[in-house]
Structure 1
């Protein structure tokens, strides 16, 4: 997963209405009704022009590098909890209290250049990460990886890694030793001629588009069914959405206001979409190291003053859903939410918001704003310029808070400035998304672990609000030493964390965010649906993107 805000850039989430015309996409061959001979057209995010980078360890690699060209050991389905499937590894087992991971490697796999794949490639990849910290982006504590024979590899770590199985086996893309062993600097390598085990290979590349075509050496019999994918460059989401509505794009992930009218109605028979609403939680994140947000009463009063149903309807086009106070997406994670919190909603009670402030010693001034010890209850929220849905939400919240005697102001800053300020704590409050690496532990570790934060002025890893609680840290540590199959024990610790979150309200949840994914069924079938959610449908994230691509079929 890329940084928190990057998915909004990748998905082209500037609010847009459809243009009348559309840029052409694809040639006549791409419009073939024969899906097996068809290259489908994909939009993975607004881009001024593609830069050739197929390095699976680089955050600047082009969409599809991860999981379309290169594969991990296991697939962790982002759309289903505890759905782990074999890919390049067929079995795994932890040993030595989680400090060793033993893997059985799939037989019969070949690299796209025809050379055999083996456990040697797996061991080489993890030792490459160990020896080059710049590409070890998840900070995996690798000691050594060895191949016992062509189908068995073991990776040892300096500490238990039970909670990092997804990052180790699901988010590390295995590369061929016979090519990468000659690469002097794997962090800087752009890998212009990629050789992977994925279902597709690179066929052509330009600044305007690049094409992946079917890998004839792919290990999974009968897949892929389609000939390939062409990724198109659009400078703005508006022009891409216009091409989508005109039937010139087959698969995209863009925010479209009033999507049924602006997209589905253009071709009701074939234009489809799915709302992948389990990926992100939109929050107001107060800086807990700064007054007045060190007060639970102030945070609770702000929360009580917000009409989330109105915010979702007016600012987010009704696509989002109300967030759980337990800060896990529902219903996906219901099995890991304490029963008493599963159906609990965040209250909207303006009168109680004011009562909460008065009980905490705040008194309303002549200007209608509460004050305490000479300080007015006034603060500024930083937001990225151009994030129109966020900006609209803040406008609505400003009026709601003013009605209960709280003054909120908005400051729009560049993406770069926002990213820096959130890491260093140079803000009173920000609005942003929380996300995870696919586990309930990750949701809480990223947002609430004291290990993920830092003093003001220093860069925090992901706990930007500077939340610290010894009980939460202890529960996270207990999960870290618990094997993943011990789910009841893990739940017990998660419930302890939820008790703290609900009571202390460190962040102020706004919504379970929408991620709209559009696709056309005129020539292509078997996209994931709510009924058959075999993967996330996102056309910009691995590993799900590669799983979807290799499972697409001719329509009908």
Structure 2
């Protein structure tokens, strides 16, 4: 997570292009243009990425560009159904979890091998998990999933037990992610830096690494003989594509133009400013999927200035018109936030009533709290202006425009929101030091435990809450069992506490928006809204 989240690394651009005649939006999941008949094997998918994947090792990376590459190279112990959130078999065909979710035993399928021919056995899994833990902070996502990792034990060649020092229900979902994807033992003979560049990057996935030219392209090739894919995929056996050629094209308008001219078959990260070009006709499709996890939000440091007052934070939440944000700055592909978690997150709770736009209620709260309108319309109390700053970086093309609209909305209730743009590195430093009023960010993960990682005083504690607060206990409860029925009440209570106390103020759900040319088909999303290319194929021009 560069800074704090695995969201996209984009450059702001709005290049004017001739109107493209493209087809209406396709549904989330696998998609392709028109009725091209049955899938055909062979060919190369030329896929435009929005940023350079600085590190190809899926155990180390966190940006979307890198994850969209790494997901194709490694298999995981489990998979997660994008529709239901259920954890399903993959490399492991069954598993058991002890009563307090501190010990997980996985029974591996026979026959899977790494691209160097060595078996995917219990010893390899142990080496891989020990290797992720040894990466420390370099395993930006994996380190959080393995925060209380104790050890892995080889029970027998096909059985591995993974133990934790504290309840870790989230680990089962984490085993479905590419961040805990399994690498061959030989991969750890290379340094972390070498693996980032593709050296020794030996997975058991349906594609293998071929070449990496930084800021230009990454090329993957089909893994011959592959036959142990996830049962969730549309077909079994080898991938259809012979190659995936990722082209790094940072400028959104250039990506769109390259797709229109046939230089690319598909592109990621279609920006809201470019979406009107995908209007009608031409045989193009636009697969979309909302990101699960924490939505884009104003995360309050409750120890700072006016934000120490819960009534002020609640008034800010009431003063934000979320549908206006998505309708004005974004597009219909983006949803107003209805909880701190995105609607695609397992155990999400709909809190849309609590997040309804209510400027009159906001003004009444502030008036009763002693905040009186000043000469310039900004409220004051005991000589203090009702003002707070928000720090952000340009990781999403529309961030500044969204915050500027929120700034206008909040002025109407007498709140002065100061917008402060920083680099990713600066934002990371400020976040880690706690030197912020509001932090603007999102975090993608298809499990409600992402709330514990960001809000618990034992982990991220971005709100700077005092230990022993009610939210801590609820977050601990949801992390103590893998049973969804038992987790759901605690996960719901956590969402309610965060929204009602306005520890963070949700605004909108990030959405992955792709565009496929007429020859690209079957490009899909896995549960974390990363690309799944096993079922992708290309038709003849």
Instruction: Report the 3-state secondary structure (helix = DSSP H, G, I; strand = E; otherwise coil) of the residue aligned with 2:304.
Output: coil
Q: What root-mean-square deviation, in Å, do the aligned CA atoms of Structure 1 and Structure 2 show?
A: 3.1
Specify the alignment match of 2:30 in structure 1: none
Specify the alignment match of 2:520 in structure 1: 524
TM-score (norm 1): 0.82
What number of residue pairs does the alignment pair up?
A: 506
Q: For 1:68-121, what per-residue CA distance to the aligned partner results, in whole angstroms no more than 9, with x for missing partners?
A: 1222211124x3343222221111111363232111111011222333332221
The 10-residue stretch of structure 1 (424-433 or 127-136) with the greater mean CA deviation from structure 2 = 127-136
1:241 counterpart = 2:256: yes
Gaps of 5+ in 1: 23-32, 453-460, 529-533
Specify the alignment match of 1:45 in structure 2: 50
1:79-94 counterparts in 2 under 5 A? 79-94=82-97
In structure 2, do the counterparts of structure 1 residues 13 and 76 end up closer, same or farther at CA, with 3 Å as the change threshold?
farther
Specify the alignment match of 2:57 in structure 1: 55
Q: Per residue, is there more helix in 1 or in 2?
A: 1
Instruction: Report the 3-state secondary structure (helix = DSSP H, G, I; strand = E; otherwise coil) of the residue aligned with 2:208.
Output: strand
In structure 2, do the counterparts of structure 1 residues 367 and 511 end up closer, same or farther at CA, with 3 Å as the change threshold?
same
Gaps of 5+ in 2: 21-37, 229-235
1:282 counterpart = 2:319: no
Structure 1 residue 198 displacement after superposition? 0.8
Aligned partners of 1:34 and 1:523 also within 8 Å: no
Structure 1 residue 264 displacement after superposition? 4.8
Aligned partners of 1:450 and 1:467 also within 8 Å: yes
Aligned partners of 1:90 and 1:104 also within 8 Å: yes
CA distance in 2, matches of 1:385, 1:116: 43
1:145 counterpart = 2:144: no
1:218 counterpart = 2:221: no
In structure 2, do the counterparts of structure 1 residues 118 and 282 end up closer, same or farther at CA, with 3 Å as the change threshold?
same
Out of 320, 329, 352, the position equivalent to 2:342 is: 329
Instruction: Report the 3-state secondary structure (helix = DSSP H, G, I; strand = E; otherwise coil) of the residue aligned with 2:511.
Output: coil
Instruction: Report the 3-state secondary structure (helix = DSSP H, G, I; strand = E; otherwise coil) of the residue aligned with 1:281.
Output: strand
Specify the alignment match of 1:466 in structure 2: 464
Specify the alignment match of 2:24 in structure 1: none
1:448-463 counterparts in 2 under 5 A? 448-452=455-459, 461=460, 463=461
In structure 2, do the counterparts of structure 1 residues 245 and 203 end up closer, same or farther at CA, with 3 Å as the change threshold?
same
1:307 counterpart = 2:321: yes
1:202 counterpart = 2:209: yes
**Greater length-normalized contact order (CA 8 Å, ≥ 6 residues apart):** 2
Specify the alignment match of 2:100 in structure 1: 97
1:339-350 counterparts in 2 under 5 A? 341-344=350-353, 346-350=355-359
CA distance in 2, matches of 1:389, 1:60: 20
Out of 512, 532, 537, the position equivalent to 2:509 is: 512
Aligned partners of 1:130 and 1:143 also within 8 Å: no
In structure 2, do the counterparts of structure 1 residues 524 and 144 end up closer, same or farther at CA, with 3 Å as the change threshold?
same
1:131-280 counterparts in 2 under 5 A? 131=134, 133=136, 135=139, 137-138=143-144, 139-168=146-175, 170=177, 171-177=179-185, 179-180=186-187, 182-183=189-190, 185-186=191-192, 189-190=195-196, 191-207=198-214, 208-220=216-228, 221-257=236-272, 259-265=274-280, 268-278=282-292, 280=294
In structure 2, do the counterparts of structure 1 residues 273 and 193 end up closer, same or farther at CA, with 3 Å as the change threshold?
same
CA distance in 2, matches of 1:244, 1:494: 42
Specify the alignment match of 1:493 in structure 2: 490
Specify the alignment match of 1:457 in structure 2: none
CA distance in 1, matches of 2:427, 2:348: 32
The 10-residue stretch of structure 1 (101-110 or 235-244) with the greater mean CA deviation from structure 2 = 235-244
TM-score (norm 2): 0.84
1:535 counterpart = 2:526: yes
Aligned partners of 1:18 and 1:241 also within 8 Å: no
Q: For 1:162-198, what per-residue CA distance to the aligned partner results, in whole angstroms no more than 9, with x for missing partners?
A: 2222224543121222x14644x44665452432211
